[in-house]
Amino acid sequence: MESSERVTTATRRTRAPGRARPGRPGRPGRRAGIPFIVLAAFVAQFLVADRVAVAVAKREMASQIRSGALADLPCDTPPPRVSDVSIGGFPFLTQVLTGSFSDVGMTMTGLATTGPRIERISAHVRGVHVPIFRLATGGDGTIRIDDMRATVHLTYADLNAFLHTQPGRVHITPVDGGRRLEITATANIPLLGDQQVGGVTTFAVHDNKVTLVPSEISLSGLFNVTLPLGNLGSYVPQIPIPVGDLPFHLTVTNASTDATGLSLAATATNIEVSTADQKPCRPTGR
């Protein structure tokens, strides 16, 4: 009897609920998946922090660009608007820590000029070096830009508004998607007085200066005679287009036209902007 009871008790203990049976393998998959879950959570947090840093840097970059451009404008002109700031490169946090941004894009609009209104400046910058910690602690520093490539766009409406104030009241009409620009103008011709003339024009760039160059001038109205530039052309002179005072010392290198307007390619290298020298605006008359 005692032997039988011992066997029964041992059997019950072996089959007690909640206890693993001897020799049964566990589930290593659950334990092995824990490091991957932790790693995924860390990566997700890093990505969120990286994108937050991008958003903050975009706002700060737009502010610095606006301040740098405003320093070259008279105090009675409205400040330009900076939008579409993009910062390339990943991960972004390492760029913040080093203060070196490899690829920055931006758009400036509403830039005041002494000539025709500039619709927008689309700039692409490579190599922006910012003293992050010095600026973050309230100090001054120098922002350095290795290379800037920009496209300055002017619409035909703004060009014509400017040309209307110039001698000859030249008016531009794009033809064939802007590949050909036809013009009309008023010319004071001896013995005939003020006459309507027509022709074509191109834009020339030399020494950071843009010039409207008419050609193939002919009389309109009673006359329809095409005369070379050496004759009637002298009564429709070349007209300078003042766009030289561009921000960040951009230099115009080329001009092209399309259906929407005039596009000027501009470049600048080795730009230095000192935050200590930035002023809210340039006093009028300087």
Confidence of residue 44 (pLDDT cuts 50, 70, 90): very low
Confidence at 35, pLDDT banded by 50, 70, 90: very low
**Structure tokens given for 283:** 């006093």
Question: Domain segments of the chain: what residues?
Answer: 46-155+263-274, 157-241
- Looking up tokens 């927008």 gives 120
Q: 192-214 pLDDT, tens per residue?
A: 788 888 899 999 999 999 999 99
Whether the CB-CB separation of 123 and 147 falls below 8 Å is answered with: no
Rounded to whole angstroms, the Cα distance separating 282 from 284 reads 6
- Residue 106: closest CA among 141, 140, 65: 65
Q: Return the minimum-mean-pLDDT range out of 67-81, 95-109, 232-246.
A: 67-81
Q: pLDDT class for 85, splitting at 50, 70, 90?
A: confident
Are 72 and 282 in contact by the 8 Å Cβ rule? The answer is: yes
Verify cis geometry, omega within 30 degrees of 0, for the bond prior to 91.
yes
pLDDT at 56 over 70: no
Strands (E), the chain: 81-87, 100-111, 118-129, 142-155, 171-175, 180-189, 193-206, 209-219, 239-241, 251-257, 261-274
